[in-house]
Amino acid sequence: MRHLLTESLRWHPGRPAWGAAAVATLGCALPLLLGLFSGHPGFLWATVGAFQAAKANPLHRFGMLRMLLLIALGACSAGLGFWSATHPLISLGLFAFYGLLLAWLQRYGNEAGKLGIGLAICLCLGQGQYGIADFNNPYAIAILFALGGLWVTLLAFGMRGVHGLRMWPYMPRLMSLLRVLRRHARRTPIRQWRQHALTYVLACALGGAIVELADLPRGYWLTLAVFTTLQLDMERSLMRALQACLGVLGAAAILIYMGHSLADPPLMVMILLPLIFFGRAFQAHHYGLFVLQATLGFLLLAETLAQDWNLPQMRLINATIGVGIALGATLVMYLLRRLITRRSSKRPQATAQEDQARDATTPRS
């Protein structure tokens, strides 16, 4: 354990976490300060786009390719979430699709799962930010998101030039990439994955529909609680599921209490920038920790410039409902899995009893 901790914190030229942290901090600082001085909500989306792009390390071999992929897909997800905020059925279908997409990406390893959870968070923020400010154009949101990400990309290209690296690395071979993905997919049995995906689809669709039908303000607290809770290995046991739900709910309560106590956008910006720096410098490799870290960062960015911290109860209620939805969907699938296992175990016993009865009634020659 000590050796692993030392290796994870060590700086070396192949993985300069401090450089990526500086790019993330500078990329988020400019739109945050512009939004703080101007009060325009569009800079929030530029900040979110910058934070999404900064998840990729620009000095890795395929870091720039991953960064552009995060920007393009994240902008589409945020725009789709904002567009679906006035259509309950479309929102239900879209959240069900993203739940299925997240479960599908998790089959191909942790890095693909990290891409999926980032897109799901952008979708939740897009839907939950609708109606908060006089800004109701999904195309403008997607463009502002992309501009914030491209600002980080410009900084990343500059850092690659300082380190004497190619501006654009060699592209990966498609067949090699497909072989690696197929190898990851074979680790999970298809029957287990189908139950896993069905849990995601049911919980995410229900969360997106409730936000629309109940017209909940700051609805991303609900949907983010659903996505985050489902990522914490809840399907292992009922005790594990309960611990995950209590952990997410406790973290949400602490975050809401801190935001309500501060309730000062300049002070929150001053606190957030060091958190972004150290959070990116020590970005978690473990999937569950990465989900918590990314969700916390996106929530802080979305709430930094908020002016309604005098109503913390609506955030806590939304988070509680989201955790309850995730726990309920997990319990339903757990009981269904137990029922299927019991029936499958009874079938061989019934077949054996029928064979014994047939042998007993068959006359011997």
- 4 part of a folded domain: no
Length of the chain, please?
A: 365
- 365 part of a folded domain: no
- 195 part of a folded domain: yes
- 96 part of a folded domain: yes
Pairwise CA distance, residues 221 & 28, whole Å:
22
Report the alpha-carbon angle 309-274-57, nearest 5. Answer: 115
Radius of gyration of the chain (CA): 23
Confidence bin at 305 (pLDDT 50/70/90)? confident
- 272 part of a folded domain: yes
Q: What is the pLDDT of residue 236?
A: 64
Pairwise CA distance, residues 314 & 218, whole Å:
8
What is the pLDDT averaged over residues 262-285?
A: 85
Q: What is the pLDDT of residue 165?
A: 78
pLDDT of 8 higher than 50:
no
List, in order, residues 6 or more apart from 158 with CB less than 8 Å away: none
Pairwise CA distance, residues 83 & 25, whole Å:
29
Q: What is the pLDDT of residue 350?
A: 54
Q: What is the pLDDT of residue 4?
A: 35
- 311 part of a folded domain: yes
Residue 87's SS3 state is coil
Confidence bin at 10 (pLDDT 50/70/90)? very low
HEC per residue, 300-352: HHHHHCCCCCCCHHHHHHHHHHHHHHHHHHHHHHHHHHHHHHHHHHHHHHHHH
Residue pair 107/184 in contact by the 8 Å Cβ criterion? yes
pLDDT of 364 higher than 60:
no
More confident residue, 245 or 134: 245
Residue with tokens 């992929």: 69
The pTM assigned to this predicted structure is 0.84
Buried b / exposed e along 351-360 (16+ C-beta atoms within 10 A): eeeeeeeeee
What is the pLDDT averaged over residues 192-198?
A: 82
pLDDT of 274 higher than 50:
yes
Q: What is the pLDDT of residue 355?
A: 55
Long-range contacts of 181-189 (CB under 8 A, 24+ apart): 181/108, 181/109, 181/112, 184/107, 184/108, 184/109, 184/112, 185/107, 185/108, 188/107
Lowest mean pLDDT among 90-99, 143-152, 161-170: 161-170
Pairwise CA distance, residues 317 & 299, whole Å:
16
More confident residue, 364 or 103: 103
Residue pair 44/35 in contact by the 8 Å Cβ criterion? yes
More confident residue, 354 or 193: 193
Using a pLDDT cut of 70, give the percent of the chain over it: 85
Q: What is the pLDDT of residue 7?
A: 34
Pairwise CA distance, residues 147 & 71, whole Å:
9
User: Nearest 5°: phi and psi at 88?
Assistant: -60, -45
What is the pLDDT averaged over residues 281-289?
A: 84
Buried b / exposed e along 110-126 (16+ C-beta atoms within 10 A): eebbbbbbbbbbbbbbb
Average pLDDT in the chain? 81
What pLDDT digit, counting tens, does each position of 44-61 carry? 889 999 999 988 888 887
What is the pLDDT averaged over residues 75-98?
A: 90
Pairwise CA distance, residues 201 & 92, whole Å:
10
Q: What is the pLDDT of residue 76?
A: 93
List, in order, residues 6 or more apart from 125 with CB less than 8 Å away: 48, 78, 81, 220, 298, 302
Pairwise CA distance, residues 65 & 55, whole Å:
12
What pLDDT digit, counting tens, does each position of 209-258 carry? 898 888 888 888 999 999 988 887 666 667 777 877 888 888 888 888 88
What is the pLDDT averaged over residues 143-162?
A: 90
Pairwise CA distance, residues 13 & 157, whole Å:
16
Residue pair 312/51 in contact by the 8 Å Cβ criterion? no
Residue type at position 176:
S
Domain carrying residue 337: 17-167+179-342
Residue pair 62/180 in contact by the 8 Å Cβ criterion? no
pLDDT of 120 higher than 50:
yes
Pairwise CA distance, residues 266 & 263, whole Å:
9
Residue pair 320/285 in contact by the 8 Å Cβ criterion? no
The number of domains in the chain is 1
Residue with tokens 């839907």: 127
More confident residue, 171 or 104: 104
- 41 part of a folded domain: yes
Pairwise CA distance, residues 105 & 291, whole Å:
14
- 318 part of a folded domain: yes
Lowest mean pLDDT among 14-28, 113-127, 137-151: 14-28
